[in-house]
């Protein structure tokens, strides 16, 4: 079976949009393994820089209902822990991951608080923080800025789980259809389309010029209580203006080529579609289209194509401890982990372009949820797993302190931020950092 | 930070304020000392609430505590049953005292000024407003707003200012959506030629509903295209998407076939239901009843945008009862039919079935595969169709002339843009303000006169003056017109409304009252009649935790949640148009139901079709919101029920009491449907913990009454214990019948009021005190919807006045709404 990606062409050569020819995967691996050719890398930073310091990337995978604790958390601790049933598919990665028990955001029980997964802050408390409830992925995205074509990419199927939030405290929605994700990441425009797009960007730019000042004058006349909200509007105009300018620049460059048709043949299951999403992200990492990606497993998705699952995801979490319903839940959770596992294998099979080790060694991977376990509506003991990223991993760790208090999850985020190259020692509710060395 | 009324009561008794300025260690108020000091003083006061925290009278810090105290006393929860017994006069004395103290609170100047909250319009309002500004029926059939970022809800409300965020993603999607709408409204270039499409049944295709996109669509036969799978959308092969924007004339010759041939228990389609055909053009949908067996021609004249996907559908919630609900399994019904009504034919056909299964064995006669060719289920059939278009009675089209005038030019930009901008910005506009937009049009003159003008229109509709409601630049009259219109119509104010407000015609309560009534009757307020109850009662969440599909098949197979939502909306609409007293909403003895709901409600003499009818419940268990499936289902788990969820819903949405969520360190045990303990026994154990009890004694009695209603809202006399050891292997219909435990739906309030079940509970909810709470809750919810934020603590006195006005009018809906609109809290 051929691999989904194909060799990179020269960017100066403008390709027709589709269909694209199939390439053998070996072609591309040879291309990467040998002298890395300039065109493969997308980023605006020069290839020389890329060769000297490979970028660090971030992949976060989340779900809205946490995990059935008995099946998620390994029974024993330490580097030599026994893999748990939900994490079974990650056994191959056991030495290069850390499962963290006893960490949370200190939230009370109930739905709706899982949206604080990547910040530790609820929208309703966001005003108290300088970066509002900005999520970790968006913090990383802001750090990367326009060095790459897309500062971040969020993907899911059907719906999102409200995981990504901007510095303005506004939700960033994932792209919830693989075809749309493909178009967004890889679809190249014809010269004619580019011209139209260029004109449109120009026209939209002028419209923003016309209305932008109005947002500013408005803020001047408003009362205190509204000013925060009006800030949002002003920021939006500014950010969109910058974004349009950047896009005009990127418009001239061709995107890397990629083929997802094999996932879309015949009955495409959610397994196929998640694999397509993860493969696109792996390739986007490889070609430096982006360095920050998030993937969500929503509540609304129909998981019944998984063997042995008949109920809704949410319904399964409230299983009333019935074994048959609980086992459906564990199947859904294992499914999520298995798609992640496959994606990590993929990342691990790719040599870091211009660097040591595999892509996985340069990609911080975080799996988890802002909810502990849906069955009890508990937001304690969140299921958290870190893999890759070149960390000296620690197996299964109990993160609670000597008095038995759980660790703020933001401590882990401080560690991940530092690994990502952000010099900070505090993030929202953190009280320190999590001990995870990297070389 | 503003303190909101909603959070007030949430702090109820557990709020421990840092030592406030109190007058020494003595409680000085005689009234309080007499009635409350027995428990609420000392080092460990009951409920962690000490009278000393109240201070001399209500100030900024203690106001919430005063209010909470009042709530508890009014609800007759305090003093508790085992405490001092108050006479009616004493209770009134205590209430008057508390009210007096609360009235002494003077809000800081800024709050007193009641600034209007500026907020982004939501997507619903965006679509309505643009259509009204551009003088078109809707934003178009090409789904121009489909990519807008969905609005998040705040406790069900889609008008909540702080929740309606704004980002570059929003702004970018607005630009795109507005462009698409304007492009499909204002046409440039030469008049396109019209074309006539003659559609034969063989050119009609039924799309596959399988995820397999490679499976070919099913064409009609020569004698007609029959709709089989109701989930499948059909389309005309030659007219799959509309090629050019303009008017289209569509004539479809069709007939309804075989209504009532198959038993309704098999199909899930009631014999009395007409066969219908639905025409779907983006968000615009048209529904036609087809007469039986008699060919009819349906005619549509529609303005269709280029790119519109023109689709047809057999709209029914039936044909999902067999197998897992997929249509192929419904073919079994044909076997049932022949076996029952034409047994001879059944035998003959059975002999002809030779197809073998994959493993070589003969299929069962009733296997669905055998019957695919013999389907005679209720269905629409299309015999032929003619599509003609685009048709223009004039060029440019009339709608364009209405918007831009006969011969629009860049030089005339100012006079063309002004009326559009005035409608969009909901106010008059000076030449100076319009200048940047005129300049933008001039800047883009290379695009041609009309295209350049379109740039100006797009900019007008991307301006904050359009996208943001309640701006400070509006005059009080303009703002009132705008708020009035967005409250009732979710759109920009029409000119007549602006004029009548400027002329002072809506200055008085009476005038407002008449206008509201007129708008309810004329259909102008339909947006409100739907959106407000939907938000208030959090109907969006109905399937957040749907009943389990294995145990509650009817609920899922007949899409009953749609009926439940419809029941609420119909009931509210009825009450509003008839101007009923508000408390009737809660506990009248009737509702509007159809046969699907009758089945859940266990009613045998009710409606026999999908059509909703008014039905009075003789057993007094149902009627009004308290008995509706929407409330009972959305507050239940999928396998069990939770009195606490239901209690919290009743308190928050019907009584305006906001219980505090459990403290963060509480570990809640997971419900276990296998155990032979009732939820009540579990909760009683929970309440023996003193820290839990102080809140739960106030909460739980609002929920136990509903225990006779199962997760799907149906009546039950006993709990069924689900035995999962048996469930694993047993067939679905025989799972978990291990044991039944009788239900105890009785409870007592702290006040001593008690009930034995739902009927008595409904009487308690109908007491004068609770009727008043319900009306106050309605007023607060209405203010939340209308103002984009919850009322503040400092609005309390004003809200009480509104409830008084409402009371003077028997709590009637229209007068209550009019009082709110006329109040300084809204104006």
What one-character DSSP code corresponds to residue B471? -
- pLDDT-derived band at B517, boundaries 50, 70, 90: very high
Lowest mean pLDDT among B149-153, B368-372, B443-447, B595-599: B149-153
Q: How far is B506 from chain A (nearest CA, A)?
A: 27
pLDDT of residue B302: 97
Question: Is B167 within 8 Å of chain A by CB?
Answer: yes
CB atoms within 10 A of CB A317: 31
Ordered DSSP codes for B708-742 = TB-TTS-B-SEEEE--HHHHTTS-GGG-S-SEEEE
pLDDT of residue A132: 86
Measured between CA atoms, the residue of chain B closest to residue A236 is: B168
The Cα A284–Cα B767 span in angstroms is 65
CB atoms within 10 A of CB B280: 20
CA dihedral A48, A52, A55, A56 (to 10 degrees): 180
Lowest mean pLDDT among B70-79, B461-470, B610-619: B70-79
Give the mean model confidence (pLDDT) for residues A112-139: 90
What phi and psi, each to the nearest 5 degrees, are found at residue B343? -60, -35
- Mapped onto helix, strand or coil, the DSSP state of residue B438 is helix
Predicted confidence (pLDDT) at residue B573 exceeds the cutoff of 50: yes
- pLDDT-derived band at A221, boundaries 50, 70, 90: low
pLDDT of residue B480: 95
- pLDDT-derived band at B765, boundaries 50, 70, 90: very high
Measured between CA atoms, the residue of chain A closest to residue B118 is: A226
The Cα B691–Cα B684 span in angstroms is 13
Lowest mean pLDDT among A187-201, B169-183, B503-517, B767-781: A187-201
Predicted confidence (pLDDT) at residue B734 exceeds the cutoff of 90: no
Question: Is B150 within 8 Å of chain A by CB?
Answer: yes
pLDDT tens, residue by residue, B171-187: 989 999 999 999 999 99
Token pair of B467, please? 């996208």
Contact A240 B727 (CB under 8 A): no
Lowest mean pLDDT among B204-218, B348-362, B812-826: B204-218
Predicted confidence (pLDDT) at residue B549 exceeds the cutoff of 50: yes
Q: Average model confidence (pLDDT) for chain B?
A: 88
Contact B165 A204 (CB under 8 A): no
Residues 188-217 of B with CB under 8 A from A: 210-214
Predicted confidence (pLDDT) at residue B660 exceeds the cutoff of 90: no
Predicted confidence (pLDDT) at residue A112 exceeds the cutoff of 50: yes
- Greater model confidence, B682 or B371: B371
Predicted confidence (pLDDT) at residue B691 exceeds the cutoff of 80: no
Predicted confidence (pLDDT) at residue B6 exceeds the cutoff of 80: no
Relative to beta strand A97-101, strand A395-398 is parallel
Question: Which residue's structure tokens are 């849906």?
Answer: A374
Give the mean model confidence (pLDDT) for residues B420-424: 97
Question: Is B107 within 8 Å of chain A by CB?
Answer: no
Of B397, B194, B184, nearest to B305 (Cα)? Answer: B184
pLDDT tens, residue by residue, A161-182: 999 998 878 888 899 988 889 9
What percent of chain B stands above pLDDT 70?
90
Q: Could you write out the three-class secondary structure of B283-343?
A: CEEEEEEECECCCEEEEEEEEECCCCEEEEECCCCCCCCCCCCCHHHHCHHHHHHHHHHCH
Predicted confidence (pLDDT) at residue A6 exceeds the cutoff of 50: no
pLDDT of residue B771: 96
Question: Which residues of B are less than 8 Å from A232 in CB distance?
Answer: 165-167
The percent helix, strand, coil of chain B (3-state, each to 5) is 45, 15, 45
- pLDDT-derived band at A11, boundaries 50, 70, 90: very low
CB atoms within 10 A of CB B230: 21
CA–chain centroid gap for B200, Å, is: 41
pLDDT of residue B14: 33
Of A418, A423, A436, A339, nearest to A103 (Cα)? Answer: A436
pLDDT tens, residue by residue, B360-384: 777 889 999 999 999 999 999 999 9
**Closest to A214 (Cβ–Cβ): which among B212, B464, B546?**
B464
Predicted confidence (pLDDT) at residue A59 exceeds the cutoff of 60: yes
Contact A109 B668 (CB under 8 A): yes
pLDDT of residue B594: 97
The Cα B95–Cα B548 span in angstroms is 46
Contact B214 A218 (CB under 8 A): no
Contact B673 A322 (CB under 8 A): yes
Question: Is B618 within 8 Å of chain A by CB?
Answer: no
The Cα B302–Cα B390 span in angstroms is 10
Q: How far is B214 from chain A (nearest CA, A)?
A: 6
Token pair of A214, please? 């109005």
- Greater model confidence, B497 or A50: B497
Predicted confidence (pLDDT) at residue A414 exceeds the cutoff of 60: yes
pLDDT of residue B46: 76
Token pair of A270, please? 């959610």
Predicted confidence (pLDDT) at residue A34 exceeds the cutoff of 60: no
pLDDT tens, residue by residue, B233-243: 999 999 999 99
Question: Is B166 within 8 Å of chain A by CB?
Answer: yes
The Cα B177–Cα B293 span in angstroms is 44
The Cα A35–Cα A32 span in angstroms is 7
The Cα B94–Cα B87 span in angstroms is 11
Q: Residues for chain A: how many in total?
A: 439
Of A27, A298, A322, nearest to B727 (Cα)? Answer: A322
Measured between CA atoms, the residue of chain A closest to residue B467 is: A233
pLDDT tens, residue by residue, A284-318: 999 999 999 999 999 989 898 898 898 889 989 98
Question: Which residue's structure tokens are 């958390």?
Answer: A73
Predicted confidence (pLDDT) at residue B742 exceeds the cutoff of 60: yes
Of B438, B435, B385, nearest to B412 (Cα)? Answer: B438
pLDDT tens, residue by residue, B41-99: 877 777 778 888 888 777 777 887 888 888 778 777 788 777 777 787 888 888 888 88
pTM of the model: 0.81
Contact B549 A315 (CB under 8 A): yes
Measured between CA atoms, the residue of chain A closest to residue B672 is: A320
Give the mean model confidence (pLDDT) for residues B210-232: 83
Predicted confidence (pLDDT) at residue B18 exceeds the cutoff of 80: no
pLDDT tens, residue by residue, A65-106: 999 999 999 999 999 999 999 999 999 999 999 999 999 998
Rg (CA), chain A: 22
Token pair of A249, please? 């620049």
Of A311, A356, A222, nearest to B637 (Cα)? Answer: A311
Token pair of B390, please? 């685009």
Question: Is B472 within 8 Å of chain A by CB?
Answer: yes
CA–chain centroid gap for B272, Å, is: 28
Question: Which residue's structure tokens are 């795109």?
Answer: B176
Mutate which: A318, A377, A381, vs B, most B CBs within 10 A? A318
Mutate which: B150, B165, B729, vs A, most A CBs within 10 A? B165
Contact B550 A166 (CB under 8 A): no
Contact A315 B162 (CB under 8 A): no
Q: Residues for chain B: how many in total?
A: 827
Question: Is B161 within 8 Å of chain A by CB?
Answer: yes
Contact A230 B118 (CB under 8 A): yes
Token pair of B669, please? 């045990």
- pLDDT-derived band at B227, boundaries 50, 70, 90: very high
Question: Is B668 within 8 Å of chain A by CB?
Answer: yes
Strand partners, B157: B154
The Cα A282–Cα B388 span in angstroms is 49
């Amino acid at each position: 079976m051929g691999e989904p990606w194909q060799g990179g062409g020269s960017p100066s050569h403008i390709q027709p949009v589709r269909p694209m020819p199939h390439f053998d995967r070996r072609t591309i691996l040879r291309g990467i393994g040998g002298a890395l050719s300039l065109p493969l890398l997308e980023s605006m930073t020069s290839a020389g820089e890329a060769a000297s310091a490979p970028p660090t990337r971030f992949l976060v995978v989340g779900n809205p209902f946490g995990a059935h604790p008995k099946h998620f958390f390994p029974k024993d601790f330490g580097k030599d822990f026994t893999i748990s049933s939900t994490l079974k598919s990650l056994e191959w990665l056991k030495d290069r991951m850390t499962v963290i028990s006893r960490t949370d955001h200190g939230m009370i029980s109930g739905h709706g608080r899982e949206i604080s997964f990547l910040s530790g802050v609820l929208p309703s408390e966001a005003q108290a923080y300088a970066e509002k409830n900005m999520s970790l992925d968006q913090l990383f995205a802001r750090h990367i800025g326009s060095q790459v074509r897309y500062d971040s990419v969020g993907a899911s199927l059907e719906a999102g789980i409200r995981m990504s939030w901007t510095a303005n405290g506004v939700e960033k929605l994932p792209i919830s259809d693989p075809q749309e994700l493909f178009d967004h990441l890889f679809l190249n425009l014809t010269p004619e389309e580019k011209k139209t797009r260029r004109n449109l960007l120009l026209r939209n730019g002028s419209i923003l010029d016309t209305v932008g000042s109005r947002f500013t004058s408005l803020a001047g006349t408003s009362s205190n209580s509204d000013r925060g909200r009006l800030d949002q509007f002003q920021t939006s105009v500014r950010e969109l203006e910058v974004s349009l300018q950047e896009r005009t620049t990127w418009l001239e460059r061709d995107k890397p080529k990629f083929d997802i048709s094999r996932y879309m043949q015949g009955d495409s299951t959610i397994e196929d579609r998640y694999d397509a999403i993860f493969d696109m992200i792996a390739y986007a990492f490889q070609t430096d289209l982006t360095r920050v990606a998030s993937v969500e497993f929503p509540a609304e998705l129909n998981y019944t194509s998984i063997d042995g699952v008949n109920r809704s995801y949410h319904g399964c979490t409230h299983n009333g401890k019935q074994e048959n319903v609980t086992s459906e839940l564990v199947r859904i959770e294992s499914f999520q982990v298995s798609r992640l596992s496959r994606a990590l294998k993929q990342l691990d099979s790719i040599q870091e372009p211009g660097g040591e080790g595999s892509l996985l060694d340069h990609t911080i991977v975080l799996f988890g949820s802002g909810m502990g376990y849906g069955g009890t509506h508990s937001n304690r003991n969140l299921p958290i797993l870190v893999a890759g990223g070149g960390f000296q991993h620690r197996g299964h760790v109990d993160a609670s302190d000597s008095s038995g208090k759980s660790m703020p999850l933001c401590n882990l985020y401080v560690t991940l931020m530092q690994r990502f190259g952000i010099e900070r020692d505090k993030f929202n509710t953190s009280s320190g950092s999590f001990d995870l060395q990297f070389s | 930070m503003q303190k909101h009324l909603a959070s007030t009561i949430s702090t109820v008794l557990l709020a421990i304020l840092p030592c406030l300025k109190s007058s020494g260690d003595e409680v000085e108020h005689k009234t309080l000392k007499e009635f409350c000091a027995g428990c609420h003083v000392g080092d460990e006061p009951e409920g962690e609430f000490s009278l000393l925290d109240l201070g001399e009278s209500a100030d900024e810090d203690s106001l919430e505590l005063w209010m909470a105290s009042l709530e508890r006393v009014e609800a007759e929860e305090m003093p508790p049953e085992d405490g001092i017994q108050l006479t009616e006069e004493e209770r009134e004395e205590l209430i008057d005292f508390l009210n007096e103290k609360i009235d002494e609170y003077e809000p800081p100047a800024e709050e007193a000024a009641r600034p209007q909250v500026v907020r982004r319009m939501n997507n619903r309002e965006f679509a309505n407003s643009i259509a009204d500004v551009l003088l078109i029926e809707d934003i178009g059939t090409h789904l121009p707003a489909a990519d807008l970022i969905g609005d998040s809800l705040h406790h069900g409300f889609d008008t909540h200012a702080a929740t309606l965020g704004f980002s570059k993603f929003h702004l970018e999607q607005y630009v795109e959506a507005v462009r698409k709408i304007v492009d499909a409204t204002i046409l440039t270039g030469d008049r396109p030629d019209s074309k006539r499409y003659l559609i034969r049944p063989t050119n009609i295709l039924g799309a596959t509903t399988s995820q397999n996109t490679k499976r070919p669509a099913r064409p009609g036969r020569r004698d007609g295209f029959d709709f089989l799978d109701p989930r499948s959308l059909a389309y005309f092969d030659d007219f799959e998407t509309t090629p050019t924007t303009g008017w289209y004339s569509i004539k479809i010759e069709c007939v309804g076939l075989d209504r009532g041939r198959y038993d309704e228990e098999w199909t899930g389609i009631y014999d009395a239901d007409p066969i219908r055909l639905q025409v779907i053009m983006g968000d615009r949908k048209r529904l036609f009843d087809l007469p039986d067996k008699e060919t009819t021609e349906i005619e549509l004249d529609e303005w269709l945008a280029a790119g519109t996907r023109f689709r047809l559908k057999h709209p029914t919630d039936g044909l999902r009862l067999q197998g897992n609900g997929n249509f192929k399994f419904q073919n079994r019904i044909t076997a049932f039919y022949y076996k029952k009504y034409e047994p001879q034919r059944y035998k003959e056909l059975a002999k002809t079935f030779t197809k073998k299964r994959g493993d070589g064995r003969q299929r069962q006669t009733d296997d669905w595969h055998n019957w695919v060719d013999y389907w005679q289920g209720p269905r629409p059939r299309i015999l032929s169709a003619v599509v003609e278009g685009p048709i223009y009675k004039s060029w440019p089209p009339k709608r364009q002339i209405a918007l831009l005038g006969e011969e629009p030019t860049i030089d005339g930009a100012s006079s063309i843009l002004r009326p559009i901008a005035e409608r969009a910005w909901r106010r008059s506009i000076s030449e100076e303000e319009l200048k940047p937009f005129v300049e933008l049009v001039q800047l883009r003159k290379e695009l041609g006169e009309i295209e350049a003008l379109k740039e100006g229109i797009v900019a007008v509709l991307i301006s904050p003056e359009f996208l943001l409601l309640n701006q400070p630049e509006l005059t009080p009259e303009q703002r009132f017109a705008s708020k009035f219109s967005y409250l009732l119509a979710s759109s920009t104010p029409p000119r007549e409304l602006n004029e009548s407000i400027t002329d002072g015609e809506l200055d008085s309560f009476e005038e407002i009252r008449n206008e509201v009534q007129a708008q309810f009757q004329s259909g102008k307020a339909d947006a409100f009649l739907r959106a407000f109850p939907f938000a208030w009662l959090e109907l969006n969440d109905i399937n957040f935790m749907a009943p389990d599909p294995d145990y509650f098949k009817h609920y899922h197979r007949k899409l009953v949640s749609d009926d439940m939502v419809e029941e609420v909306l119909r009931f509210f609409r009825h009450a509003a148009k008839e101007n009923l007293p508000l408390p009737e909403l809660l506990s009248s003895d009737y509702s509007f139901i159809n046969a699907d709901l009758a089945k859940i409600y266990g009613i045998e003499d009710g409606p026999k079709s999908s059509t909703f009818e008014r039905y009075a419940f003789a057993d007094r268990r149902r009627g009004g919101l308290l008995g509706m499936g929407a409330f009972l289902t959305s507050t239940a788990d999928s396998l069990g029920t939770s009195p606490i969820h239901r209690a919290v819903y009743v308190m928050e949405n019907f009584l305006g009491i906001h219980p505090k969520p459990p403290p963060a360190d509480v570990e809640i045990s997971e419900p276990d449907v296998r155990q032979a303990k009732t939820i009540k026994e579990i909760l009683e154990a929970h309440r023996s913990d003193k820290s839990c009890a102080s809140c739960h004694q106030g909460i739980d009695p609002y929920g136990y009454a509903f225990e006779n209603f199962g997760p799907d809202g149906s009546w039950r006399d006993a709990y069924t214990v689900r035995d999962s050891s048996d469930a694993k292997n047993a067939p679905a219909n025989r799972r978990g019948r291990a044991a039944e435990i009788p239900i105890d739906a009785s409870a007592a309030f702290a006040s001593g009021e008690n009930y034995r079940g739902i009927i008595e509970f409904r009487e308690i909810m109908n007491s004068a005190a609770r009727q008043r709470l319900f009306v106050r809750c309605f007023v607060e919810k209405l203010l939340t919807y209308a103002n984009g934020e919850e009322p503040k603590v400092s609005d309390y006195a004003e809200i009480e006045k509104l409830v008084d006005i409402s009371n003077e009018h028997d709590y009637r809906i229209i007068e209550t709404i009019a009082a709110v609109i006329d109040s300084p809290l809204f104006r």
